[in-house]
Amino acid sequence: MKQIAAALVVWICMFQSQAIADVPSDPISWLGRIASAGQRLNYTGTFIYQSGPVLETSRITHLADASGEHERLEVLDGSPREVTRSNAEVRCVLPDQRMVIVDRSGGQRGFPVWLPATYASVAENYRVSKGEVSRVAGHDTQLLMLEPRDDLRYGHLLWAEMLSGLLLKARMVDESNRIIEQFAFSDVRIGGDIDPGALKSRLASDDGWRVLDTRGQDMKIEDSEWMLTSPLPGYALKSIIRRPLGPDRGDILHLVYSDGLAAISVFVEPTDPERAASTPGTMVMGAINIYKRDVDGHMVTALGAVPMRALQLLGDGMELVVRQ
């Protein structure tokens, strides 16, 4: 019996070694695996998010089927919060406020997807290399290191599960290698069937809850009256959405710039002299830096998990253009 058990252990180790040998050696190919794994796989697990002193635990369940992607994320600490997604439609449930906010993902990727489907440009802005193999949440993972090529973006460490490519841990670091924010699964099940009932909201109710639709209207990039007059190296404009602010308040314009990994949101809204004005300047909220500037009767706000210099260059370059 001991000989059979020993032989079984050897067989399992040989099978696992062969499976690991089949994974790509090229770090760029690993980025492709990470980009697709979080979208095409079924998985469920608990992960921990840390930003400065803030520490949160969340539970995520993701289903990929013939109709697309569906997931539910519930924050387990503090005030109850829940985010459900069906393809591009996102619903954020805030029970304490009896409110559901409806929006679109807009191409933004969150943990554990992290990388967008069009990840190829990442190598233009980061030096990508492989690190060691280590264990995360009981799974063997390959470390990918993304070192920024300039001071307009942060560095990233990504730990991807060896066999599936699913991202199990991610860390963002500054130029001194200090941690800005990090995510990591504490437990995860990859593959297998997902009960569709696990994706339904457990917190929302139809009884007297306010539904706030913030999806807005997509604009063609060439139709925008706001333009970046001096290019920000590595970043390109990916989308523009116009959203109404309310009766007699005009619209707010939301522009998203990305380098293939980092994203900067720019909000442009008219200044209302009868309302408390926002103060121009800089501020920090956790991993998010914020830069505000007054331009032609508008407040331009640039924010993102990027160095402040990138936000200032982008915010200072935004100008109102009069088209003929």
Mean pLDDT of the chain: 86
128 and 145 Cβ atoms separated by less than 8 Å: yes
Domain regions of the chain by residue span: 22-199, 216-320
**pLDDT of res. 112:** 80
Read off the pTM.
Answer: 0.86
* Opening angle at CA 144, ends 143 and 150, nearest 5: 145
Beta strand ranges found along 26-137 (DSSP E) = 43-51, 54-65, 68-75, 81-86, 89-94, 99-104, 126-136
* Opening angle at CA 106, ends 103 and 111, nearest 5: 95
pLDDT, one tens digit per residue, over 272-314 is 766 656 678 999 998 999 999 999 889 999 999 999 999 999 9
Task: Assess if CATH 2.50.20.10 describes domain 22-199.
Answer: yes
Task: Assess if CATH 3.30.200.100 describes domain 216-320.
Answer: yes
- Give dist(CA 8, CA 3) in Å, integer: 9
* Opening angle at CA 310, ends 305 and 312, nearest 5: 110
DSSP annotation string for 227-253? EESS--TT-EEEEEEEEE-STTS-EEE
**pLDDT of res. 18:** 37
